[in-house]
């Protein structure tokens, strides 16, 4: 075991010890502590916890990677996720806190005076949360596979074990204070390498200003990456493939999905007052902005470093025997692969696919070629668009490694590499824990207590919550081992489902006295079922680009589902009786911004 491996184990192990210690200290003793941390979390702490809950493995591991590979189109993720958080903080959080429920299904069930509406909301919560958590478990597996030298599936199982411990034991109380620690770890782990990278490449300390810097060549970093990309047959980094309509729909789906995410909304029930919900939302936005404003710079620097390192100073490739250690490390983890298409012993990265199947290289055990590279079994060669076979793409790069590999690519100190590993695990585990809690709460509180058996005791409800969390962790682990795509793309699908189901029903529940249970239920069913059908068809049943509705991608279709939800809800509610008088008074009362008692279970 080398020095770097020891550092990785120490940093990841120390962070785990911290999280488990906090979970033991903050063990939940009642359903109120399990669901909303007793409703007494200070706004700054809640802001940090919300930021950690919301900035998942997709934000930490995958977002900069996706932007590195798709360039301008990745802006939809930046605008959608940050814009959605602003909308959630300003438009929904204070009113939901005023209503004083533990969960989104609780709000839906009581606002729409219907257990059937509550059950539909529980089903939507479970679908959204499992789709989202699959991405987190995949992220944990990737980190463990590289830094702890285990395969991705073993990494997923290790992650399940850690989350099981503090989510099942501590509930929201344990998760909240664990997430405060996880935010501190993940933000240091993201920003320290970003500062190093920016200074190395541009001479600017801050990646936010480094992105606009001019290099020694006299070109800006973006113009340089554009040129490097086009020289290799890729599109310009600053141009996009998506249509304006698809960009708009994807951004809107991510934005409205953020405002409808059950695991983020529940965070605003953990503070004592409505005023604290507003201020904790402001703190969270500031904490989130630190990472999100650095992402575009990290993405561009990562692309620049990757091309320069792999293709060499002359752009004609680097001999495999001279490739830096990081390339071989990630090759061993199965997240980079090399196919020596022209037999010249040089690694050449260009446009086109290097591998068949789902794009993942299949390694033939630990067999090695004469030069030490791993034998890959499912190769296909696709020459570059210009038709020059010598420059066919020979490299497979998993998008999800860009942030994780950056410190090694830039030859940063070993402790920075270990810190990034700990940060990536923190990002994935913090969100996974929040999601699993939402699933267990939906089953124990909304299904068991509120629908099936209202007479169960507080102790029995807590037992059901913990049992549900255990089952949820096992299912999440399965999806982590068999994921339907890259981390950020899997997560984007969850946002689409949230936008098409919860966003309209919450907005109408707060701002429309006329919206009744029939309209809300019909809207939710139409919204989520059409969005799910579209996603399943194009992601799992072989739908082609030519068949896309108006060219809208599955990730962006949540906006269409949301529009259908609104239309269905308004039509159905206008044809059915209005809500009872007391519900209309509650809606009026929610919108008065003053006062509010504690969150309560009724």
Give the residue extent of every domain in the chain. 3-240+261-301+413-489, 306-402
CA–CA dist 445, 468 (Å, integer): 11
Cβ burial, residue 482 (10 Å; 0-12/13-18/19+): exposed
**Which distant-in-sequence residues (6+ apart) come within 8 Å of 547 by Cβ?**
538
Listed in sequence order, the residues at least 6 apart from 586 whose beta carbon sits closer than 8 Å to its beta carbon are 99, 111
d(CA 366, CA 548): 41
Q: What is the pLDDT of residue 359?
A: 46
pLDDT of res. 116? 86
Q: What is the pLDDT of residues 430-483, one digit of tens each?
A: 777 777 777 877 787 777 777 777 778 877 877 887 788 888 888 878 877 776
pLDDT at residue 602, as a whole number = 45
pLDDT of residue 461: 78
Which residue reads 């299912």 in tokens?
A: 475
Please write the tens of the pLDDT for every residue from 28-42.
Answer: 566 665 655 555 677
> Please, is 372 exposed, middle or buried when counting C-beta atoms within 10 Å of its C-beta (0-12, 13-18, 19+)?
exposed
- What topology is assigned to 3-240+261-301+413-489 in CATH? Sodium/glucose cotransporter (1.20.1730)
What pLDDT, in 10s, does the model give residues 481-531?
Answer: 776 555 556 667 778 888 998 889 989 988 888 889 899 999 989 998 999
DSSP 424-465: HHHHHHHHHHHHHHHHHHIIIIIIIIIII-TT--HHHHHHHH
Predicted pLDDT at 125: 83
Kindly indicate the confidence band of residue 45, based on its pLDDT and cuts at 50, 70 and 90.
Answer: confident
pLDDT in tens, 356-409: 544 455 555 555 666 666 565 554 444 444 444 444 677 888 777 778 888 887
Contacts 24+ apart (CB under 8 A), 587-595: 587/111, 587/509, 587/510, 587/512, 587/513, 588/513, 589/98, 590/95, 590/98, 590/99, 590/510, 591/95, 591/510, 591/511, 592/98, 593/94, 593/98, 593/274, 594/274, 595/274
- Residues 59 and 135: their CA atoms lie apart, in Å, by 11
Residue 555 burial (CB < 10 Å; 0-12/13-18/19+)?
buried
Report the pLDDT averaged over residues 347-358. 66
- For residue 212, pLDDT over 90 is answered with no
Residue 423 confidence (pLDDT) above 80: yes
pLDDT digits (tens, 9 = 90+) for 249-301: 999 998 998 877 777 777 777 777 777 777 888 888 889 889 889 999 999 98
pLDDT at 127: 80
Q: What pLDDT does 357 receive?
A: 43
Contact between 61 and 400 under an 8 Å Cβ cutoff? The reply is: yes
Q: Find out whether 473 and 163 touch, Cβ atoms under 8 Å.
A: yes
Q: Which three-class secondary structure string do you get for 363-406?
A: EEEEEECCCCCEEECCECCCCCCCCCHHHCCCEEECHHHHHHHH
Number of helical H runs and strand E runs in the chain: 24, 6
Cα–Cα distance, 515 to 518 (Å, whole number):
8
CB 64 within 8 A of CB 402: yes
Q: Quickly list H helices, 55-114.
A: 57, 63-70, 75-87, 93-99, 104-111
What is the residue whose two structure tokens read 């999601």?
435
First-to-last alpha carbon distance for the chain, in angstroms, is 56
d(Cα 345, Cα 338) in Å, to the nearest integer?
10
d(CA 558, CA 368) in angstroms, rounded, equals 46
Lowest pLDDT segment from 106-120, 332-346, 394-408, 523-537: 332-346
Q: Sort strands 395-397 and 374-376 into parallel, antiparallel or unpaired.
A: unpaired
111 within 8 A of 509, measured Cβ to Cβ: yes
Q: What is the pLDDT of residue 519?
A: 92
Higher pLDDT, 262 or 71: 71
Percent of the chain past pLDDT 70, that is, above it, reads: 84
């Amino acid at each position: 075991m080398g020095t770097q491996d020891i550092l990785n184990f120490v940093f990841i192990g120390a962070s785990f010890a911290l999280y488990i210690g906090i979970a033991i200290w903050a063990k939940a003793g009642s359903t109120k502590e399990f669901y909303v941390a007793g409703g007494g979390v200070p706004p700054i702490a809640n802001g940090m916890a919300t930021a950690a809950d919301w900035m998942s493995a997709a934000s930490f591991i995958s977002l900069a990677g996706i932007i590195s590979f798709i360039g301008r189109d990745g802006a939809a993720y930046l605008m959608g996720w940050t814009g959605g958080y602003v909308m959630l903080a300003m438009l929904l959080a204070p009113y939901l806190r005023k209503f004083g429920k533990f969960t989104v299904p609780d709000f839906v069930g009581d606002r729409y005076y219907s257990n059937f509406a509550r059950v539909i909301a529980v089903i939507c919560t479970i679908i959204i949360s499992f789709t989202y958590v699959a991405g987190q478990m995949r992220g944990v597996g990737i980190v463990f596979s590289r830094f702890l030298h285990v395969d991705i599936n073993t990494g997923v199982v290790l992650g399940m074990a850690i989350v099981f411990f503090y989510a099942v034991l501590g509930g929201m109380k344990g998760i909240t204070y664990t997430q405060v620690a996880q935010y501190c770890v993940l933000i240091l782990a993201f920003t320290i390498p970003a500062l190093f990278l920016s200074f190395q490449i541009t001479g600017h300390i801050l990646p936010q200003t480094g992105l606009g810097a001019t290099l020694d060549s006299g070109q800006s970093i973006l113009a340089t990456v554009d040129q490097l990309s086009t020289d290799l047959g890729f599109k310009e980094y600053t141009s996009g493939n998506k249509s304006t309509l698809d960009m708009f729909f994807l951004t809107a789906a991510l934005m409205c999905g953020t405002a409808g995410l059950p695991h983020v909304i529940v965070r605003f029930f953990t503070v004592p007052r409505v005023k604290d919900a507003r201020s904790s939302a402001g703190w969270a936005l500031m904490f989130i902005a630190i990472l999100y404003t650095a992402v575009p710079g990290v993405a561009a620097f990562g692309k620049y470093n990757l091309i320069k390192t792999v293709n060499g100073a002359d752009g004609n490739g680097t001999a495999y025997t001279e490739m830096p250690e990081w390339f071989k490390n990630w090759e061993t983890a199965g997240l980079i692969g090399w196919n020596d298409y022209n037999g010249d012993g040089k690694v050449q990265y260009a446009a086109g696919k290097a591998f068949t199947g789902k794009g993942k290289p299949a390694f033939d055990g630990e067999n090695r070629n004469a030069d030490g590279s791993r034998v890959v079994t499912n190769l296909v060669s696709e020459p570059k668009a210009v038709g020059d076979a010598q420059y066919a793409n020979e490299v497979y790069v998993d998008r999800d490694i860009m942030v994780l590999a950056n410190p090694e690519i830039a030859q940063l100190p070993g402790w920075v590499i270990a810190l990034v590993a700990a940060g990536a695990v923190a990002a994935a585990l913090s969100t996974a824990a929040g999601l699993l809690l939402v699933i267990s709460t939906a089953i124990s509180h909304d299904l068991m207590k509120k629908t099936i058996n209202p007479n169960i005791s507080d102790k029995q409800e807590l037992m059901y919550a913990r049992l549900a969390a255990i089952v949820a962790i096992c299912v999440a682990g399965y999806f982590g081992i068999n994921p339907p795509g890259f981390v950020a793309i899997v997560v984007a699908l969850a946002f689409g489902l949230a936008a098409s189901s919860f966003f309209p029903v919450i907005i109408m529940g707060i701002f429309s006295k006329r919206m009744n249970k029939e309209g809300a239920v019909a809207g939710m069913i139409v919204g989520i079922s059409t969005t799910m059908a579209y996603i399943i068809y194009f992601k799992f049943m072989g739908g082609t680009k030519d068949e896309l509705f108006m060219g809208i991608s599955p990730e962006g279709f949540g906006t269409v589902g949301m529009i259908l939800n609104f239309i269905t809800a308004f039509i159905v509610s206008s044809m059915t009786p209005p809500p009872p008088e007391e519900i209309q008074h509650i809606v009026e009362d929610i919108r008065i911004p003053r006062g509010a008692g504690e969150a309560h279970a009724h």
